[in-house]
Structure 1
Amino acid sequence: MENTEKNKLFNKFTRNFIQTNFSEYDMQNCEIEFLEDKVLDIYMNTLILLINEKRLLGILKGSTSEERYEYFNDVLCGKYIIDEIAKRFPKLVSRSLTQLKNYLLLYRKVEQLFLKDVPKLIQNRFISNQCENFKMEDLQITVSGDFHNGSGVCILFYKGERVIYKGKNNFANQLLIEIFSKLGDEFEESLEFLPRYIDCGDYYWEEYIEHTSIRNSNISASEYYKRFGYLLAVAYLLNISDLHFENILASGDIPKLVDVETIFNLQPYEILSETIADKDLLKRNAESVLLTGLLPLAGSNEVFGGDTSGILGGKFVGEVRVIQNQMRDDISVKRQVVRKTNKSHLPFYISEGEEQYFEVKDYLRELLFGFKKVTSYVENQKNTFLSIIEKYSEKIDVRILFRNTKDYSIVRTLLLSPKYSENDNIIFEKFKNKLVNYQSDELCESEIKQLEQMDIPYFSMKSNSCDVYDLYGNAVWSTYYSPIELIRKKIQNLSVHIIEEQYKLIEFSISSTLRLYNQEALPRINDVEDKSYSDSILYKGVQNIVDRLLGAIYLSNSDQTCNWLTLSINNVDCLELSPMDCTLYGGLSGVALALIESMTLLEEDYRKKVRSVLPYLYNSILKKYEYLTNDSFYMGRMGVLYTLKKLSKEVGKDLDNWVNIEIDNVISRLNIGDTDFLTGISSVIPAIRLENLNKVTFEELSDIYIKQAKEKDNFVFWGNEQSNNVSLAHGNLGIELALVRLIKVLDNSNNKETISTLLKKAINFDNLQRREHGWVDNRNFSHSANWCHGATGVLLSRIDLYNQLKNDKTATISSTDLQQDVIHSLQDIKEVGLNLANFSLCHGVSGNLLTLVHTQNFFDENNIVNNYNLKKFVRENFYKIHLYGLQNGWMCNFNTKYDSYALFTGISGILYATTLYLKNDIKSDVLLPNIVS
């Protein structure tokens, strides 16, 4: 908790609480101080709730807020408040006492072990001779990391010196030390990647590692990253996971591994997937070098809100509780989202008194060299490597993570909150439901039991066993393979091909993440200097993209399905590789549409290849359709149905009747949708024949927009005002397309008049954000020209409104105003929409060019701009995209081996846009929803 005066807050409560509940313990001052900190952490929210309740009830005495706080702290925070908490929150008190007593017992245990082992620690130079005359009051102990069954990692501070206590055996570290020793002998290097330790049986002491600088900067930095490559290779080969930035320390030119919690990692769950192709891709991803956590890419495990990798990480989104109005009776806690940065895992040198950090981008060659050196050695010396591992196969306990430890921490926090502590049945029920697809009763019961003891649940198995046990010795799970079996298989199957694949993954994950955070460094298409503008370049580009798609597709002959491992950015700005869903926007449906459109432009052999994969796409999309829960055109069923109608004809299937039935099902659910265009009903309404619906449906649909609208002065919006952009995907622009269609089918009812007013006020809201250049983008306070946000969406929306209303004599929207918006958006697209570091449909150059292709008829009919010059402009920029793409990569994938294949965010969108342009096809069936039936 962020609080500069934390130890002073409610200090009378913490002291009285300890005196009341720990009177039987004869505690030293250091122990009391240790517990006081823990008590305040647990009860802070409860005390803030109670003081505010008393303030509102007028119970607190004093003429100022500060005096009333003092009254609460000095007078009430004795037996009165302690008794009230015990009466109102008995489970909270019970759990807190369990946790506090466990902490105290651990503190005392470690204290006594330290006292006993001081001679050993001095002899092995973990601490100096000044610690010989031990004084209890000089010792400080902090518990670090997870707490299991009364035990945890402890950091001991004594007279300015530190040492680490770990209450478990040390076999994992011993294995790694022996492996690195063997590699060191072979490479003629000293490879001391782990801290020194003193083995004491069921616990051990570990040397405290400091984050220290590199002396000889260039040479030492090269050594550091080469050694990091060694470490990465061993972590990959031994299935060591969870090696995030907090588990690595840069100690001079050596990356020190300070915590090895999950060696021989095993995924306990069977991979659940919609198709066998998906399952195979997920399995391949889960067994890759990404599993280690050392690389800045989300693998099969969940991420923590950003880049937590051991090589590049420490940049992630976190949440802190900030205490406001301290020492006042209106004290409160505000949660703030912050971007945190940690650099203790990065090598650095001192220059003019300041720390200068080395960046892995400058030493990627050394990192890759180190990785390849170790993996190539093991590939040639498999028996030697395995013989070392086998020595520990019966000794090592493998921790099994059934859930992210962050999930456990959240539940534990809720169990100690005044709001949820007495409703734990609800919390645990939701907790169980997350594993509803597995036979997990024993596991969930053990998790709950451990959480009730305020422990982070811990499960483990012997590396040569298939049975998983909890801390109480109960079997809770069984796996198909033992951890050691998987390691043997991995090493025995290691080949030059597999090493090369991992090598490329490393290169990709680092270079793509660096480019993600430094978009300005990427070249733009305006940098293209060749201006011959030959259409042959476009045809070569089309064939190149098709070649990339066909080369990367994974086909499963088991169930005749397919997929791609596509590159995407998740909701916490972290890159990840994952199989595609079946949606139009980001999934297989979009790829299918692009391939179908391109076939007439391809050479015969490529056309045959495309035709050969269409049945796989058809089967995959149809199977995955069953799992969709969204009905929208872009992210749900309607777009998939549109694709299946086209695709079924290509593969000789008749789906028309089924599609019509499914559309009726979608229509029956429209009255419970949200208004968003990308994910909600506003993209469904333009895709259905409204005239075939009944009047009741029209009224129900219009009621949704009326109820969810937020009116202010003379404008209206849906969603949050502050973050509401002039946006087709998530703002008024997409909703306006639905409103104008409802107006046309509504009878002369109150709803028709209300919807007409909403449309006008929605456009007013857009106009509020109009600037000299485009429309303001609230995400960066600049202006954007993308399909999703900004001028491109305005152009599409305004032309659609113009066409919908041009024959409506009762329309209250000015056609002149719409035309002015069209001109304004066109200028902005030309200004900022063609010099983007992205070629995609959604937020890149292809979407802008395809929009200009689609709108050419409008410009011809209304004589708004010189259409000859516009067509020349479009042609030149399509040429630049393809010349750049053929030479440098397609700018949807950060120019790496791994592409984003999706229609709206990847290379399929470039293919689709170029194909329509070359065919002179001005349809807009993906830019705006097309009629599905």
Structure 2
Amino acid sequence: MYSRFLDYSVNVEEINKGLEELVESILDKEVISEKDGTSNWLTLTVNDFDGLELEPMDYSIYSGISGVSLAFLECYDILNDNLKKRVKETVLRIYHTIRNAYKQYSDNYSLYVGKLGMLITLNKIESFFNLPTNLDFLDELRNICSNLCDSKNPDLLDGLSSIVDIIFSEDYLTDNFREELVEIKEVLLNTVCFNEDGNAFWNKDSKPNVSLAHGNLGIEIALLELYILLGEPKIKEIFMKAVNFDNSRKLNQGWLDIRNSSHSANWCHGSTGVLISRIKLLQMHDCHSCLSKNEIIMFIDDIQHAIEDIQEVGIEMTNFSLCHGVCGNLLSLSYCIRNDIPINLKTFINSNFLLDNFSKLNCFGQKNGWMCGYGTSYESLGLFTGISGIIFANAKFLKESMISKSSLLDI
């Protein structure tokens, strides 16, 4: 249905209208506790048995209330005064809710699905609205780092790699966390596996995928950051063996997705994750001269290959989310264009293409629904799983944002 949708106007006004409709939709669904003033929403989720459930949001950036607040902060400056007022009130309630839960929370410690994400969200809200700081950021980060090292989970989404990017983004953190960075390096080098060709991967079930969320792509970002900070040749050696694993899964179109023996274009798995990872690696080289000429050429070729796959299979998907759908793909393409990557595109991927597709997505959403409900009349509201992610992508596009050079949080 979406691929055949032609009843839309190509203009920024349609994107603004879509963004405002989505913001109002989330604001109208907020449930505020009469007992303590905390805030939450019912969101559509997939349970462990692949069943659909409506349940309260968790605290995470990925699918919870932290992600809702970050989407609201991203779009805040381009909202009308009435929506700004309502959004600020809601974000402050989210802040109160996360702060109340923070000390007791121990389910996970990662950036996207755990306590690190809660800490970063509190910090961002405090900075954005000039609130007093309620936690010792360095002490909390040190405790989180210790727990992530104990977990020995290397993944970007729910493990160790994300905290490296947070530390790498600020000089005062790299100065204060030298010992922790060495410990993280030891965990990553001690948990690496090698296949029969000597290529490196990390995976709990020995079925590695080319994945930003749960595979090499996210860990490679952490490894190159550790190499820049610690300067140990062994780190770069393992980094390149991991890249060689990715290369071994490269197909004529995209990269092998072992889940379906085909290829895919998603933020979590496939070409979209490759694109984001390679842009990030090249940005690091621009600042720190950490790659060879041949490595640069290889990563630029990966970007070209990823863009062509996203164009083929990632633009007319029946899901609009950041992690598994159209918004994540359009946003990653916009980062590529605006970072001025030196590629020789044989495609029509350009600013007009992005405007056309963001306009189409928002017109379709306003007329037919936002395709974040798994075919039901309900919707996921999360940043990476649903409505908040569409708000985030729209705002990034309207503000002509580039991929963050400081932290992976903005991707």
Calculate the TM-score normalised by the size of structure 2: 0.91
Q: Are 1:728 and 1:734, in contact at CA under 8 Å, matched by a contact in 2?
A: yes
Are the structure 2 counterparts of residues 736 and 813 from structure 1 closer, same or farther at C-alpha, using a change threshold of 3 Å?
farther
Counterpart of 1:630 (choices 85, 108, 118) is 108
Q: Are 1:733 and 1:797, in contact at CA under 8 Å, matched by a contact in 2?
A: yes
Cα shift at 1:704: 0.8
Partner of 2:189: 706
CA distance in 2, matches of 1:913, 1:743: 31
- Write out per-residue CA displacement over residues 790-840 of structure 1, whole angstroms, 9 at most, x where no aligned residue: 000000111111222344367486110111001000100111011111000
Q: Which amino acid aligns with 2:21?
A: N
Partner of 2:273: 793
Partner of 2:209: 725
Partner of 2:77: 600
CA distance in 1, matches of 2:327, 2:405: 15
CA distance in 1, matches of 2:386, 2:290: 42
Partner of 2:394: 914
CA distance in 2, matches of 1:662, 1:691: 15
Q: Are 2:278 and 2:303, in contact at CA under 8 Å, matched by a contact in 1?
A: yes
Partner of 1:383: none
Q: Which amino acid aligns with 1:730?
A: H
Which has a greater percent of strand? Answer: 1
CA distance in 2, matches of 1:863, 1:599: 34
Q: Establish whether residue 887 from structure 1 lines up as the match of residue 378 from structure 2.
A: no
CA distance in 1, matches of 2:343, 2:7: 32
CA distance in 2, matches of 1:679, 1:573: 20
- What pairs with 1:752-791 in structure 2 (closer than 5 Å)? 752-791=232-271
Task: For structure 1, list consecutive stretches of 5 or more residues without a partner in the other structure.
Answer: 1-522
Q: Are 1:645 and 1:656, in contact at CA under 8 Å, matched by a contact in 2?
A: no
Are the structure 2 counterparts of residues 929 and 616 from structure 1 closer, same or farther at C-alpha, using a change threshold of 3 Å?
closer
Counterpart of 1:846 (choices 327, 330, 347) is 327
Partner of 1:734: 218
CA distance in 1, matches of 2:293, 2:198: 15
- Write out per-residue CA displacement over residues 221-275 of structure 1, whole angstroms, 9 at most, x where no aligned residue: xxxxxxxxxxxxxxxxxxxxxxxxxxxxxxxxxxxxxxxxxxxxxxxxxxxxxxx
Cα shift at 1:775: 0.4
Counterpart of 1:648 (choices 106, 126, 129) is 126
Partner of 1:678: 157
CA distance in 1, matches of 2:178, 2:121: 29
Are the structure 2 counterparts of residues 593 and 800 from structure 1 closer, same or farther at C-alpha, using a change threshold of 3 Å?
same
Aligned-partner SS, 1:541: helix
Q: Establish whether residue 715 from structure 1 lines up as the match of residue 199 from structure 2.
A: yes
- Write out per-residue CA displacement over residues 15-57 of structure 1, whole angstroms, 9 at most, x where no aligned residue: xxxxxxxxxxxxxxxxxxxxxxxxxxxxxxxxxxxxxxxxxxx
Task: For structure 2, list consecutive stretches of 5 or more residues without a partner in the other structure.
Answer: none
- Write out per-residue CA displacement over residues 624-683 of structure 1, whole angstroms, 9 at most, x where no aligned residue: 223133221101122222211222245552127533331232234443231011110111
CA distance in 1, matches of 2:258, 2:348: 34
Partner of 1:666: 144
Q: Establish whether residue 802 from structure 1 lines up as the match of residue 271 from structure 2.
A: no
Q: Are 1:722 and 1:778, in contact at CA under 8 Å, matched by a contact in 2?
A: no
CA distance in 2, matches of 1:695, 1:582: 29
- Write out per-residue CA displacement over residues 190-209 of structure 1, whole angstroms, 9 at most, x where no aligned residue: xxxxxxxxxxxxxxxxxxxx
Q: Are 2:300 and 2:341, in contact at CA under 8 Å, matched by a contact in 1?
A: no
Higher Rg of the two aligned structures: 1
Cα shift at 1:915: 0.9
Cα shift at 1:716: 1.0
Are the structure 2 counterparts of residues 734 and 888 from structure 1 closer, same or farther at C-alpha, using a change threshold of 3 Å?
same
Q: Are 1:726 and 1:732, in contact at CA under 8 Å, matched by a contact in 2?
A: yes
Aligned-partner SS, 2:408: coil
Counterpart of 2:15 (choices 519, 523, 538) is 538
Cα shift at 1:889: 0.5
Q: Which amino acid aligns with 2:254?
A: G
Cα shift at 1:531: 4.9
Cα shift at 1:718: 0.8
Higher relative contact order (CA 8 A, sep 6+): 2
Q: Which amino acid aligns with 1:684?
A: I
- Write out per-residue CA displacement over residues 598-622 of structure 1, whole angstroms, 9 at most, x where no aligned residue: 2222222222222222221111111
Identity of aligned residues (%): 38
Cα shift at 1:929: 3.2
Q: Are 1:849 and 1:874, in contact at CA under 8 Å, matched by a contact in 2?
A: yes
CA distance in 1, matches of 2:305, 2:346: 15
Are the structure 2 counterparts of residues 675 and 813 from structure 1 closer, same or farther at C-alpha, using a change threshold of 3 Å?
farther
- What pairs with 1:210-609 in structure 2 (closer than 5 Å)? 523-524=1-2, 526-609=3-86
- Write out per-residue CA displacement over residues 433-469 of structure 1, whole angstroms, 9 at most, x where no aligned residue: xxxxxxxxxxxxxxxxxxxxxxxxxxxxxxxxxxxxx
CA distance in 2, matches of 1:549, 1:649: 23
Aligned-partner SS, 1:862: coil
Q: Which amino acid aligns with 1:827?
A: E
Q: Are 1:684 and 1:929, in contact at CA under 8 Å, matched by a contact in 2?
A: no
Cα shift at 1:596: 1.9
CA distance in 1, matches of 2:189, 2:89: 49
Q: Are 2:42 and 2:54, in contact at CA under 8 Å, matched by a contact in 1?
A: yes
Are the structure 2 counterparts of residues 812 and 755 from structure 1 closer, same or farther at C-alpha, using a change threshold of 3 Å?
farther
Q: Which amino acid aligns with 1:765?
A: F
Q: Establish whether residue 876 from structure 1 lines up as the match of residue 356 from structure 2.
A: yes
Q: Are 1:566 and 1:580, in contact at CA under 8 Å, matched by a contact in 2?
A: yes
Aligned-partner SS, 1:566: strand
RMSD of aligned alpha carbons = 2.4
Are the structure 2 counterparts of residues 768 and 867 from structure 1 closer, same or farther at C-alpha, using a change threshold of 3 Å?
closer
Aligned-partner SS, 1:730: coil
Cα shift at 1:548: 1.1
Q: Which amino acid aligns with 1:675?
A: P
Aligned-partner SS, 2:6: coil
CA distance in 2, matches of 1:602, 1:812: 44
Q: Are 1:687 and 1:930, in contact at CA under 8 Å, matched by a contact in 2?
A: no
Q: Which amino acid aligns with 1:558?
A: K
Counterpart of 1:611 (choices 70, 81, 88) is 88
- Write out per-residue CA displacement over residues 771-800 of structure 1, whole angstroms, 9 at most, x where no aligned residue: 001001111111100100000000011111
- Matched length: 403
Q: Are 1:853 and 1:874, in contact at CA under 8 Å, matched by a contact in 2?
A: yes
Partner of 2:298: 817
Q: Are 1:799 and 1:822, in contact at CA under 8 Å, matched by a contact in 2?
A: yes
Q: Are 2:280 and 2:405, in contact at CA under 8 Å, matched by a contact in 1?
A: no
CA distance in 1, matches of 2:137, 2:310: 37
Are the structure 2 counterparts of residues 738 and 882 from structure 1 closer, same or farther at C-alpha, using a change threshold of 3 Å?
same
Calculate the TM-score normalised by the size of structure 1: 0.41
Cα shift at 1:758: 1.0
CA distance in 2, matches of 1:926, 1:564: 31
Q: Are 2:43 and 2:379, in contact at CA under 8 Å, matched by a contact in 1?
A: yes
Q: Are 2:8 and 2:363, in contact at CA under 8 Å, matched by a contact in 1?
A: no
CA distance in 1, matches of 2:342, 2:141: 36
Partner of 1:78: none
Q: Which amino acid aligns with 2:115?
A: R
Are the structure 2 counterparts of residues 820 and 745 from structure 1 closer, same or farther at C-alpha, using a change threshold of 3 Å?
same
Counterpart of 1:691 (choices 164, 174, 187) is 174
Cα shift at 1:594: 0.9
CA distance in 1, matches of 2:49, 2:364: 30
Q: Are 1:554 and 1:564, in contact at CA under 8 Å, matched by a contact in 2?
A: yes
CA distance in 2, matches of 1:743, 1:786: 27
CA distance in 2, matches of 1:819, 1:863: 7
- Write out per-residue CA displacement over residues 747-778 of structure 1, whole angstroms, 9 at most, x where no aligned residue: 4xxxx222211111111111111000100111
